[in-house]
Amino acid sequence: MIEETLERINTLEKCRKETHQNDKSKSEDEVKKTLSEVLSINEQNIFDLSDEKTKEIIKEKDELFPDNEKWYSVCGKDDGIIDICLPYDKIKSIPCNVIFNNCNIDLQIDESKGVKKNNVEISKNRLYFYNCIFEKSLNLKNIIFEKILTFNQCAFSKDLKIYQNQFLDHLVFINCSVENKKIKSLDLQENIFKGYLFIKNCDIENMGLWKNKFENRCYFVDSKFRYEDKDNKTKFNFSNAHFQDNVYFNNSHFKDYADFHECEFEKTACFYGVTFEKTPNFSQAIFKGNLNAVNTNLNFTFDDLQERIKQECKDFNEAKEKKPLDKIANNFRDSFRNFKSVLIKDNNLLDASNFHKYELYCKELELKQNWDKKGKNVENIMDLEKNVSRIRGFVDFLLLGFYRKLCDHHTDFLKVFNNLVLLIVLYALFFWGFVWLHDDKLKDTREILTLFKFFDNLKLCFNIGVVICIILGFILVLYKINKISIKSFLNILKIFQSLSHIKKWLLKIFKKEIFIKLFLTLKIIGLDLWFLTESLIIIFFIPCVFYVLFSLFGFFLNLGKDFGYSLFINTLFVSLYICLVYTKSLFFGRYVVLVLSYIGFFIVLIKQPSIIHPLIGKIADKADKGFNYPSLMVLNILYTILLALVLFSLQKTARKNSIVPS
C-alpha cells in the first residue's frame, strides 16, 4: 500500500510542476538542490511529499511516523532501484526530512579526508528508509540523532553496528521480515536512548544489546530472533542493559539462547506470550518494577538446560576467572526463581509451576556437580559433617532425578499415569510368575516346593548369567565414565562410514532423498536400540551385584540360599521399573513397552482387579495362600512403597497448583 502511494507521488509531482510552476518557492528548489548534492543523485529523483492523504496512509502502517512535518521522497523512476552512496560526514548536511524508497544504500567513510569514526556528527532531520537494501556493513558511531530514525521493510545483508550514539528521538525497526527481508546482525553498544527503541515484526538472526542506557520505553514485539551462528560463539546478548522505563517483548520468539544477565529493569518488564526455544539466562537480573511472564512458553528440555549451563560455564571460564559449574547452575536457578516469585505474587500459580520445574532442573544439576567434587579428607568433626552433607545432597539428587522422570516434577499428568500403569503390570507379571511356578510344582509333588527350587535346578546357568551381567555392567559404567572409551567407540562407528561403496550401491537403487531418509531412520532406530541395551544391562546389573554381595557375606550372616534368590528377584523388580522410567529409549523402551503395558493393564483389570493393590487383594482373595510366602510379601512391600510414591505424584500433578509452595 505504501509502495503504491509513493509511486503516485512521482505522477502528482509532475502534474504539480506543470500547473503550479510559477508558485513554487525558491526555498524548495534550494532544498532539492542541496539534497541532490549530498546524495549525489539527480533532482528528478527527489519529490515533495506534500499530499496529506499519503502521510495518513503511511501513518496507518507506522504509528510513530510524524505526519505533521514537511517530507521529501527519494525514489527511482518506474519502480526502479536507485543506488545512493552517502558519505559518513554528510549525514549532518541532509537539509530536510527524507523518505528513502526502494534504494540501495551504501554508507561510506572517507578517511582520506580526515573523517574518522570517532568524530561526533549531528543529524538534525528525520530519516526514513522504506523498502531499502543495505548490502554492505552499516556502522553508525558517535552520531547524535536529534530526530527519529526509521527502517521499514529493509533488508540488511551484512552487520548493522550502532555504537556510542545518542538518540534524542526514536530508533525504529518495523516489518523487517516481509518478503524474505531480515536483519542479519543488529549490534547496539553503549548507546543512550532518550526516545523509544522500537522493534516490531522483524526477523533478526543475531542481536547484541550490551551496556546501553534506555531512558524511555523499549519494544521488541512480534519479532523472531533466530540465531543462526554455526560456530556457536554468539547469542542474543541483552546483558548489562539498563532499562529506566517499561520494556516489552510481547509475542516474540527466541529460537536460541538469549542472555539477560545483570540487566536492570526499573519499571515494567513484559514477556507476555514470549517463546524461548532454548534456556534464557536472567542470572543476577534486577526487577524493580512489575514483571509480566503470563503465557511465556519455555520449550526446552532438561538436556537442553544442561548443555546450556555447560556452554555458559565454558564461555565464562575462557573470558574471566574460573567459576565452577554448580555456581553457574545456581545463577540459572536464580533466573527461574525470579520469574516464579513474581508469578506467585500475581497469584498466577499455573504458569509459576513451569518455572518451578526448571528451577528444580537447575538444582539437580547443581547437586550432581557437588557430588562429582572430591570430598575432603576427614581431619575433624567439621570435615565429617561436610562429607555427610554431600551424601544427603546425593540422595536429593537421586530423588529429583526420579521425580523428573516420573512426572516432570508434577507437571505432566500423562507421564505419571503411564508410569503407574507400567508399575501395576510389572507387579502383576512378577506375582503371576511366582504363583504359576509354585502351583505348577505343587500339582506334581506333595512337598512344599518354593520358587527357589527352580533356581537350584539351574544354578550353574544362573551363576553364569550373573557373571555375564556383572561384566557387561562394569563395561557400561567404564564406558560412561571414561571419555577415551567413548572416542574409541566412535572410531569403530567410523569404520562403517568408510564403506563408501555400499553407500554408492544404495544410491543407485534408491533416490538420494529416499536414501537420506532411510539412513536417518536407521540411525535413529540404532541409537534407540543402544539406549534400550544400556537400560537392560543396568536392569540386570543391579540385582546381580546384590546377589554377589550376598554370596560373599551371606555365609557369615548365616543366611540361607533362598534369601539370595529372594533378594535377586525383588531387586530385579525395583531396578526393572526404575530403569524403564529412566530409559532414554523413547521408541522401544517407552512407546512399545507402554503399549504392551496398557494391554496387560486391561487384562489385569478384567481378570483379577484385586491384584492392583496387595492389601485389597489379601482381603478379597483369602483363599490364595500365595500372599503368605515371605518372598512374595517382600515384593508386596516394595510394590506398595513404589505405588504410594506414584499415587502421591499422580494426585499432586492432577491438582497442578499444589506444587508451588505458598
344-348, 410-414, 504-508: lowest mean pLDDT where? Answer: 504-508
Residue-wise DSSP of 374-406:
PPPP--SHHHHHHHHHHHHHHHHHHHHHHHHHH
Element (H, E) at 322: none
In this predicted structure, what is the pLDDT of residue 512? 58
Domain boundaries, the chain: 1-131+144-153, 461-659
Q: What's the mean per-residue pLDDT of the chain?
A: 76
148-152, 169-173, 259-263: lowest mean pLDDT where? Answer: 259-263
Q: Is 191 exposed, middle or buried (0-12, 13-18, 19+ CB in 10 A)?
A: buried
* pLDDT range class, residue 516, cuts 50, 70, 90: low
Report the relative pairing of strands 183-189 and 149-152 from DSSP bridges.
Answer: unpaired
Q: Which percentage of the chain shows pLDDT scores above 90?
A: 11
The grid coordinates of residue 323 equal 567459576
Report the relative pairing of strands 46-49 and 71-74 from DSSP bridges.
Answer: antiparallel
For the segment 376-407, what is each residue's pLDDT rounded down to a tens digit? 555 556 666 666 677 888 888 888 988 999 98
* pLDDT range class, residue 23, cuts 50, 70, 90: very low
For the segment 104-137, what is each residue's pLDDT rounded down to a tens digit? 888 766 555 555 556 678 888 888 888 888 888 8
Answer whether residue 17 shows pLDDT above 50.
Answer: no
Instruction: Return all residues near 519 (Cβ < 8 A) that are at least 6 apart.
Output: none
Distance CA 496, CA 429 (A): 40
Distance CA 355, CA 342 (A): 11
Q: Torsions phi, psi of 501, nearest 5?
A: -65, -30
Q: Which percentage of the chain shows pLDDT scores above 70?
A: 71
Instruction: Return all residues near 556 (Cβ < 8 A) that are at least 6 apart.
Output: none
Provide the CB-side half-sphere exposure for 537 (13 A, CA).
17
131: left (phi over 0), alpha (psi -120 to 50) or beta: left
For the segment 578-636, what is each residue's pLDDT rounded down to a tens digit? 988 988 888 888 888 899 999 999 988 888 887 777 655 554 454 454 455 667 788 88
Answer whether residue 275 shows pLDDT above 70.
Answer: yes
* pLDDT range class, residue 229, cuts 50, 70, 90: low
Q: Which residue has the higher pLDDT, 196 or 551?
A: 196
Q: Is 408 exposed, middle or buried (0-12, 13-18, 19+ CB in 10 A)?
A: buried
Answer whether residue 31 shows pLDDT above 80.
Answer: yes
In this predicted structure, what is the pLDDT of residue 121? 80
* Closest-CA residue to 403 (of 268, 302, 513): 302
- Mean pLDDT of the 434-441 span: 60
217: left (phi over 0), alpha (psi -120 to 50) or beta: beta
267-271, 389-393, 464-468: lowest mean pLDDT where? Answer: 464-468
What b/e string do you get for 341-358 counting C-beta neighbours within 10 Å, with b at 16 or more?
A: ebbbeeebbebbbbbbbb
For the segment 340-382, what is each residue's pLDDT rounded down to a tens digit? 887 887 777 777 888 889 999 999 988 888 876 655 555 556 6
Element (H, E) at 101: strand 98-101
Q: What is the pTM of this model?
A: 0.71
Answer whether residue 180 shows pLDDT above 70.
Answer: yes
Whether 257 contacts 237, CB under 8 Å? no
